[in-house]
A and B are shown apart, each in its own frame.
Chain A
Amino acid sequence: MADTTATASTETVAQTDDGIRRRDFLDIAAIGAAGVGGVFIVYPLVSQMAPSKDVLAASSTEVDVSSIEPGQAIKAVFRKQPLFVKRLTDAEIAAANATATGSLRDPQSLEDRTKEGHRDILVTMGVCTHLGCVPLGAAEGEVKGEYGGYFCPCHGSHYDTAGRIRKGPAPTNLEVPEYEFTSDTVIQVG
């Protein structure tokens, strides 16, 4: 404030007020800048924990479904998690359609869970929606549970032929990931 001494005394009061305000403003601005700086520091610290580029890059998978016989399933890997692709038999489709959707814990019909024109191809994550175990029932000779679909050995969740939760602790149906048929026999997941 070198100029204060050079001005008339009548202006001193106003100047002082102005000075105080300016100082307050400077203090607030400085603290504010520190706060903004803090956010700048916190943001990368938090976001470094999110999936890295290589993990995200491996986030889509193609599966050829032509070799799956009715009643059989294959296990693929999608985002390092198991993916079940199953070709349903007519009996399994009938069993899934015979169940009243309204009575289910997570009401979905087989229609909701498969693609138009490929009603017999059921694509689900092989991850139990309870606590993330891999259900049995995809490989030959595995237990399929009381509803003929999948059975999670961890806490006893039973899924039906459409991969819907019917009994046990899991809250929702086996997740159907986003996928599309890129040709008649190939699906792209993710």
Chain B
Amino acid sequence: MTKLLSVRLVAILVGLGFAFVALFAFVIGAYNAATEETAAHVPYEKPMDIAFSFDGPFGKWDKAQLQRGLKVYDEVCSACHSLKFVAFRNLEELGYDEGQVKAYAASKQVPGIDPNTGEAAMRPGLPTDYFPSPYPNAVAAAAANNNAIPPDLSLITKARGDGTNYVASLLMGYQAPSEELLAEHPEAAPGPGLHHNPYFPNLNLAMAPPLTTDGQVTYDDGTEATIEQMSKDVAAFLTWTAEPTLVKRKQTGWPVLIFLLFATILAYMSKQQIWAAVKPKKD
């Protein structure tokens, strides 16, 4: 008994020790918080809530939109951003046929070797090749962009919170900082080589506005290429590159859930029947 008491006594002392140190830190922290000013966060905007065809549990790709998005990537983004996890063959999923994919791949130069000398050389792409990177390596990318390396876009919509909306909002969001913001947070003014964008977490990013004029890209399907349209289309395309299986995933989910619901109801009825004999009578 005395031994047990001592176990508990030790426990009480240890518990009081930890609690004391934690509360001591709390008091010091509270004192500092009361006496010192802490840097306030510069507020940034949450992405706009934009409706996409693939939203929601029944979402489907809008292939025409994905094709338009590919065109925006191809003509604008690909100058600086790679798309290294996407192969040309994947473009068949956007509704292109084999011949179109082959032709598109062949229009791109990918790194290879000269078959005669073995030296590094560029060659036309094949459907099995992946989208080539605009820069040979990260150092070249940094050197060409004032030390800010343009990120690979394959996974960008999964690598940012609320990614699809974020990409679209960011592309539409370039603007001069407002007077009130600058009055309240003078440090939020864009430095040299930086551009103000309220959707970017620290408000200033190195990427210059990529979509600047309506009609910058000429859509094959005749859709009017406003900045808003181009932003949404490329955001949709990058959602597809980040997760080509998104629609298949949702479509697989429904039969699985319906089957499970059915099986669970059966399991419940079977459980009720088995337990009926031993359940207390309700009276």
Contacts and interface: CB of A to CB of B under 8 A. Distances in A.
B39 A146 contact: yes
A141 B189 CA distance: 12
B39 A141 contact: no
Contact of B194 (A139, A141, A146): A141
Nearest to A146: B39
Contacts of B210: none
A130 B194 CA distance: 31
Interface string A135-170: 000011100001000000000000000000000000
Interface string B188-217: 000111100000000000000000000000
B258 to A, nearest CB: 45
Interface in B6-48: 39
A139 B148 CA distance: 10
A146 B38 CA distance: 9
A139 B193 CA distance: 14
Contacts of B194: 141
Contacts of A140: 147
Interface string B28-71: 00000000000100000000000000000000000000000000
A141 B190 CA distance: 10
A58 to B, nearest CB: 18
A79 to B, nearest CB: 19
Contacts of B191: 141
Interface in A91-150: 139-141, 146
A141 B147 CA distance: 11
Contacts, number: 7
B147 A139 contact: yes
Interface in B164-210: 191-194
A116 B159 CA distance: 47
Interface in B109-157: 147
A140 B192 CA distance: 10
A26 B191 CA distance: 81
Contacts of B192: 141
A141 B191 CA distance: 7
A187 B147 CA distance: 24
A140 B147 CA distance: 9
A141 B192 CA distance: 9
Nearest to B206: A141
B249 to A, nearest CB: 33
A16 B156 CA distance: 84
A174 B1 CA distance: 52
A146 B193 CA distance: 24
A127 B39 CA distance: 22
Contacts of A141: 191-194
Nearest to B193: A141
A177 B39 CA distance: 31
A141 B39 CA distance: 17
A76 B146 CA distance: 17
Interface-central residue, A139, A140, A141, A146, by most chain B CB under 10 Å: A141
A146 B39 CA distance: 8
A146 B40 CA distance: 12
Nearest to B194: A141
Nearest to B202: A143
A146 B37 CA distance: 10
Nearest to A140: B147
A39 to B, nearest CB: 36
A139 B194 CA distance: 14
A75 to B, nearest CB: 10
A141 B187 CA distance: 11
B95 to A, nearest CB: 43
A141 B193 CA distance: 10
Contacts of B147: 139-140
Nearest to B39: A146
B170 to A, nearest CB: 19
A49 B193 CA distance: 46
Interface of B: 39, 147, 191-194
Interface of A: 139-141, 146
7 contacts: A139-B147, A140-B147, A141-B191, A141-B192, A141-B193, A141-B194, A146-B39
Sorted from nearest, which 7 A-B pairs have the closest CB atoms? Answer: A141-B191, A139-B147, A141-B194, A146-B39, A140-B147, A141-B193, A141-B192
